[in-house]
Amino acid sequence: MKPLKPGEIPNRSQPEPVIHSRHNARFREVRALIERRHEREEKGLFVAEGVRLCEEIVRAGWHPQYVLYSEQLSERGQRLLDHFRSQGVTLHKVSPELMASLADTETPQGILCVLPIHYLTFPTHWDFGLVLDGIKDPGNAGTLLRTAWAAKVDVVITIPGTTDLFAPKVVRAAMGAHFYLPIHELKWPEIEALAKQRTPQPARVLLAEAQGGIPYWDYDLRQPLLLVIGSEAEGPSPEAHHYADTRLTIPMPGQSESLNAAIAAAILLFEVVRQRQTS
């Protein structure tokens, strides 16, 4: 289908597939993609729900494999449908009740996109990376991605055992970061090689530690680096301790033993931004 010209009204005369039943094969596929990691990995697909996320899909130039929507869609959502129609994307109308049964929020916005899992190319030139070491909570993982995107991190690396970064709760919390951030899973020996082989200057592997590290404001964060954030409940893995060059700590004058992983990462990532902008 040809893209619309400026001011052209989309042609809605062609009937679009309508899903009436929970037993519909496409509906069941979407539910499986939402609920099960192995389905996402096997089919190479994931789900992004809501108007805001679908707008980010359009801005980033990603193309859904297909879209589900309901009649309760807002005017902003209708504009998205017009765009997807102009791109030849398959649209399926479903009842509000069926859409609500798929939604991961209390107030469904009436649209979700099913997209190919697309790993953006690992950057050739990088000097600012974030490593997620066994992060389990989907909300924290998504917030970490969103924060990394805001801090202009070059690449996010996940360690095996980290939560699925294409799970619906992660995608929702990341607020579009998936469409702009290179995300790659590596093992620790690969991360060590990546840091040491970086040219013209190797990168430092910096581990965020609750206690006992260098106060983060006393460390030079202008050099190439990989910042490692460990599990919320268990802290950094033994492998992270083994491969880290330096440990950084956020001094806490209060009585709390530790910070939420996403909050700690935000403090450290934006200290990198501050130092580099003021140098």
pLDDT in tens, 44-71: 999 999 999 999 999 999 999 999 999 8
Is-contact 129 161, C-beta < 8 A? Answer: no
Q: What is the predicted pLDDT for the residue at 256?
A: 79
Helix (H, G, I), strand (E, B) or coil at 152: coil
pLDDT in tens, 172-225: 999 999 999 999 999 999 999 999 999 999 999 999 999 999 999 999 999 999
Q: What is the predicted pLDDT for the residue at 14?
A: 57
pLDDT in tens, 87-100: 999 999 999 899 98
Distance, in Å, from the CA atom of 204 to the CA atom of 225, rounded to the nearest integer, reads: 5
Q: What is the predicted pLDDT for the residue at 232?
A: 82
Q: Which residue has the higher pLDDT, 196 or 109?
A: 196
- pTM here is 0.91
Q: Is the pLDDT of residue 102 over 80?
A: yes
List the single range of 72-86, 114-128, 130-144, 253-267 with lowest mean pLDDT. 253-267
Q: Is the pLDDT of residue 13 over 50?
A: no
The neighbour count for residue 178, using CB atoms within 10 Å, is 29
Distance, in Å, from the CA atom of 99 to the CA atom of 86, rounded to the nearest integer, reads: 23
Share of the chain above pLDDT 70, in %: 94
Distance, in Å, from the CA atom of 122 to the CA atom of 155, rounded to the nearest integer, reads: 7
Q: What is the predicted pLDDT for the residue at 90?
A: 95
As a whole number of Å, the CA-based R_g of the chain is 21
Q: What is the mean pLDDT of the chain?
A: 92
Q: What is the predicted pLDDT for the residue at 15?
A: 62
Q: Which amino acid appears at position 23 of this protein?
A: H
Q: Is the pLDDT of residue 258 over 70?
A: yes
Residue with tokens 């802290």: 235
Distance, in Å, from the CA atom of 4 to the CA atom of 143, rounded to the nearest integer, reads: 36
Q: Is the pLDDT of residue 242 over 90?
A: yes
DSSP H helical segments within 122-260, as ranges?
138-150, 168-174, 188-197, 238-243
Q: Which amino acid appears at position 174 of this protein?
A: A
